[in-house]
Structure 1
Amino acid sequence: MTGFMEKNGLLVGLYILGAVTLWIVLMIVLPQLFMLDFSFRYNLPPAEIGGPKDVYTLSNYKYLIYGSAGSAADYNWIDLSVFLQTIIAAVFVTLIDLALCYPIAYYLAHTAKGATGRLLILSLIIPYWVNEILRAFAFRIIFGASGVINNFLVYLGLIDQPIDFIREDVALYTGLSYAYILLMIFPIYNAVESLDRNQVEAARDMGSGWLRIHWRIVIPFAKPGIASGCTMVFMLTAGALAAPQILGGPSSLWFTQLIVQWFNTGGNWPRGSAYAIALLIACVAFVLFMMRVFKIRVGEIGR
């Protein structure tokens, strides 16, 4: 802390610490605490809130597991399956982005130089000037039954009938992978850029192939950046709403859609809060578990 103050000056240091603390408390901690408290409440009319019936309960969490039956005799398989499918889909999208972005990040960090590197970075950033909703609808048009891809495949004679990419969730996974691709590229780019190229050259001189160089040198060095990118992509994908609603097929219900239904259509804010807290805990637990598996500390991600 002393070094931070000396580097930035007392006034600037206090301002940065105060702004960050205010942001964390007001925008993250307090809303989550209010939602956590709300998740343990009954769904009461406004007149009864604060009265004798306004007590804590686990009924909202029990509903997620057991449904209206309220016992182990009948699990809430619909909501639980949507919950599990959302987590699995988020992992799948994260792996897709990692496979796509790692080569790009390495190329930007160690190969592309000067105007070429700047042009590539601008090419990645400029498409995100378009609103997320517009991008999602653009993907729906591209992957639609009469969209660009189907028309092109029919024109080439590769298919006789249009493929329903929406129902098969191809459009959904493509849209989600594209939506958060920058959050995977730049953390890996920042990590790989600081890698001493002499290590790579030494490994090549000793006869190591590119796969072995990346597996033994580059990837271990870039683990913090990979972990940071995977964490952000996984969390945002699991909590996505716009893309699943626009690009999802009839059978691709996202857990966030269930949360919104409880808040809006169902009018049950305590149950919606319980569902949201359950998703948050599951995502954080999964990320911490994977960090432990790959032996990555939280402090390394913030480097």
Structure 2
Amino acid sequence: MTGLVRRYGPVLTGVILLLVATWLVLLVVLPQLLMVDFSLRPMLPPSKAGGPEDVYTLGNYATLWTNRIHLSIFLKTVWASALVTLVTLAVCYPVAYYLAQVAPKRRLPTLVLMLVVPFWINELLRTFAWYIILAYNGPLNLALVWLGVWTEPQRLLGGDVGVIVGMVYVYILFMVFPMYNAMESLDRNQIEAARDLGAGWARIHRRIVVPHAKPGIAVGCIMTFMLAAGSYAVPALLGGPQSRWFTEVIYNWFFEGGNWNQGAAYAFILLVLCVGFILLMMRLFRVGLADIAK
């Protein structure tokens, strides 16, 4: 705070803080409070609103535990989002390391641009592209049949495989850039010294690179998991009845069932799940909010 006042002056600092506070209250705090209020009330016709039946209850939350179908979808969403996070981490770690420590400085802008340019296209269009690629007679199936990987095309859409592949691609940048930002500050001399002392690549990454990049890995995992768990477009386009996502159930409660109270309860449960995952990552990687903010 003192640094802000010294840099911008008391008047401009006050204006900045007021704008930030207004943004947080109007777009974060109030919507969440309204969602909690909705989730704790039963769905009633307007004529009964505020009457004796309009009382706070946990019935909307209990619905998830009594509805076995919705509970199984919720648990499937949890493990599938975790799987998306792990696969994205495995794919992005070598990419981030190459960009941060191996790629020549003169080629780095071109490589970063090659990663970013595809994401200038709308998420729906990129998801539709994977719909074409993963189709029964799509290019991926035709290529794998031609290579002899399998004898006939396989159905990759309408199940969890297509959804997970699509999510890994859609959210790849949210994993790459936090890790790249953390690895970039690693002194290359530490890696060279470890190599001169006889350490293999696995040990170098386990003892030097990964500990240094922990904040970036934690941020990437948090962002990827939250985006995957809260995704609607990807499972709706690439999935099917057997691969429904919990966000699709929430959408149905709001816009098809017309039960905003039940939908708010399910949405709040999903929010609590994401907050719990954040705390788990912070504890697992032993990082604090200050480390993540870097």
Q: Is the 8 A contact 2:222 2:281 kept in 1?
A: no
Query: In the TM superposition, what are the counterparts of 1:49-68 in structure 2 within 5 Å?
Result: 49-66=49-66
Amino acid at match of 1:196: D
In the alignment, what sits opposite 1:5?
5
Q: Is the 8 A contact 2:88 2:172 kept in 1?
A: yes
Q: Is the 8 A contact 2:144 2:150 kept in 1?
A: yes
In the alignment, what sits opposite 2:134?
143
Matched, 1:77 2:73: no
Query: Given the alignment, which residue of 98, 108, 113 partners 1:107?
Result: 98
Query: In the TM superposition, what are the counterparts of 1:92-103 in structure 2 within 5 Å?
Result: 92-103=83-94
Matched, 1:121 2:112: yes
Q: TM-score, normalised by structure 2?
A: 0.95
Amino acid at match of 2:162: A
| Separation in structure 2 between the aligned mates of residue 179 and residue 12 of structure 1, nearest angstrom | 39
Query: Given the alignment, which residue of 238, 259, 273 partners 2:250?
Result: 259
In the alignment, what sits opposite 2:207?
216
What 5-or-longer segments of structure 2 have no aligned partner?
A: none
* Structure 1 residues 142-196: Cα deviation after superposition (integer angstroms, max 9, x where no partner): 1001111112223344433210011443221111001111111111111111112
Identity between Structure 1 and Structure 2 (%): 53
Runs of 4+ in 1 over 6 A off after TM superposition: none
In the alignment, what sits opposite 1:302?
293
Amino acid at match of 1:220: P
Offset of 1:286 from its aligned partner? 2.8
| Separation in structure 2 between the aligned mates of residue 56 and residue 40 of structure 1, nearest angstrom | 5
Matched, 1:227 2:218: yes
In the alignment, what sits opposite 2:233?
242
Offset of 1:8 from its aligned partner? 4.2
Q: Is the 8 A contact 2:215 2:285 kept in 1?
A: no
Offset of 1:102 from its aligned partner? 1.2
Which shows bigger deviation, 292-301 or 28-37?
Answer: 292-301
Which shows bigger deviation, 277-286 or 166-175?
Answer: 166-175
| Separation in structure 2 between the aligned mates of residue 100 and residue 19 of structure 1, nearest angstrom | 39
| Separation in structure 2 between the aligned mates of residue 169 and residue 262 of structure 1, nearest angstrom | 22
What 5-or-longer segments of structure 1 have no aligned partner?
A: 67-75
Query: Given the alignment, which residue of 275, 282, 293 partners 1:291?
Result: 282
| Separation in structure 2 between the aligned mates of residue 203 and residue 110 of structure 1, nearest angstrom | 15
| Structure 2 CA distance for partners of 1:218 and 1:11, relative to 1, 3 Å | farther
Q: State the aligned residue count.
A: 294
* Structure 1 residues 197-241: Cα deviation after superposition (integer angstroms, max 9, x where no partner): 222122122111111111111111110111011100001100000
Which shows bigger deviation, 236-245 or 162-171?
Answer: 162-171
| Structure 2 CA distance for partners of 1:168 and 1:54, relative to 1, 3 Å | closer
| Separation in structure 1 between the aligned mates of residue 255 and residue 268 of structure 2, nearest angstrom | 17
Q: TM-score, normalised by structure 1?
A: 0.92
* Structure 1 residues 46-95: Cα deviation after superposition (integer angstroms, max 9, x where no partner): 232223322111110111112xxxxxxxxx22111111110101110001
Offset of 1:111 from its aligned partner? 1.7
